[in-house]
């Protein structure tokens, strides 16, 4: 990958889109992970006003610290960046208390965390006439669908969604993202036990990238290792189960005969 050219291309695309939309800039949720670090930096490089939001909800101290350090790093280097700390734990607990007990299970509330952050990003972006920039990469957004529908998937534009995870790492290094963020295990930050993406999925991002590019042939079974077969099964399970996130919302068409 021509990393410098890719960076310039994304920055120019962001700037052009924002200008054409007649919006003031970008709002990005910064989690302390590599995807949000890269996205927020690319937005900052446009010269457009960029708000970087740290939105902790019962957040692990390391994640909260890395997000804060990324925001300070941005503010130091880019005059157009403004950091915001929006503590959402109390709001999350208030929502949790209003729901019936049977709805407050682990996955339901993990997704609610993500959707509460989306609401916050749009409250800021609407007030300031800005665009919410998504932080999903290609493996997450179009491979396994590893994101929350109308949570971190609720965005106005996706600057890194055509980059594989390995390519995000290459861009991060070129942008000078801090080593602590680059080396941190990827996590969605939605669980109090700090579980990683790979522990939830059951495969590494390198394995998932291989599965995305795999093309089956007549002798496939004979050349694949047991682990490769397992990874393909994991990838297919997530891709099929999360297909509803990746396509357009189904519309029930009314035929002429019914009108």
Quick: pLDDT tens for 187-244: 877 777 778 888 889 999 999 999 998 866 555 666 899 999 999 999 999 999 999 9
Q: How far apart are CA 79 and CA 188, in angstroms?
A: 29
The answer to pTM > 0.95 is no
Average pLDDT score over the chain: 92
Give the integer Cα–Cα distance in Å for 148 and 208: 19
SS3 label, residue 49: strand
- Of 100, 41, 47, nearest to 72 by C-alpha is 41
Query: What structural domains and CATH numbers belong to the chain?
Result: 3-246 (3.40.50.620)
Tell me which residue has tokens 């529908």: 149
pLDDT digits (tens, 9 = 90+) for 17-29: 999 999 999 999 9
Burial class (CB in 10 A: 0-12, 13-18, 19+), 239: middle
């Amino acid at each position: 990958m021509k990393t410098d050219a890719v960076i310039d291309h994304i920055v120019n695309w962001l700037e052009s889109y924002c200008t054409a939309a007649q919006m003031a800039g970008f709002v990005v949720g910064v989690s302390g992970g590599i995807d949000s670090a890269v996205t927020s930096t690319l937005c900052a490089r446009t010269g457009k006003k960029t708000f970087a939001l740290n939105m902790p909800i019962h957040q692990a101290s390391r994640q909260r610290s890395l997000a804060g350090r990324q925001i300070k790093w941005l503010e130091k280097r880019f005059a157009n960046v403004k950091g915001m700390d929006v503590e959402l734990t109390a709001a999350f607990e208030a929502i949790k208390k209003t729901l019936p007990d049977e709805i407050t299970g682990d996955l339901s509330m993990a997704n609610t965390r993500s959707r509460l952050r989306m609401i916050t990003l749009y409250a800021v972006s609407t007030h300031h006439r800005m665009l919410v920039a998504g932080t999903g990469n290609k493996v997450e957004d179009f491979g396994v669908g590893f994101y929350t529908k109308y949570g971190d998937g609720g965005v106005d534009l996706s600057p890194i969604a055509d980059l594989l995870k390995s390519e995000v790492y290459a861009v991060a290094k070129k942008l000078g993202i801090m080593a602590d963020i680059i080396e941190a295990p990827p996590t969605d930050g939605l669980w109090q036990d700090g579980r990683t993406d790979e522990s939830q999925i059951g495969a590494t991002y390198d394995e998932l990238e291989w599965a995305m590019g795999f093309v089956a042939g007549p002798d496939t079974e004979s050349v694949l290792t047991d682990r490769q077969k397992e990874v393909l099964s994991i990838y297919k399970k997530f891709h099929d189960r999360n297909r509803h996130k990746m396509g357009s919302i189904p519309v029930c068409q009314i035929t002429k005969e019914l009108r």
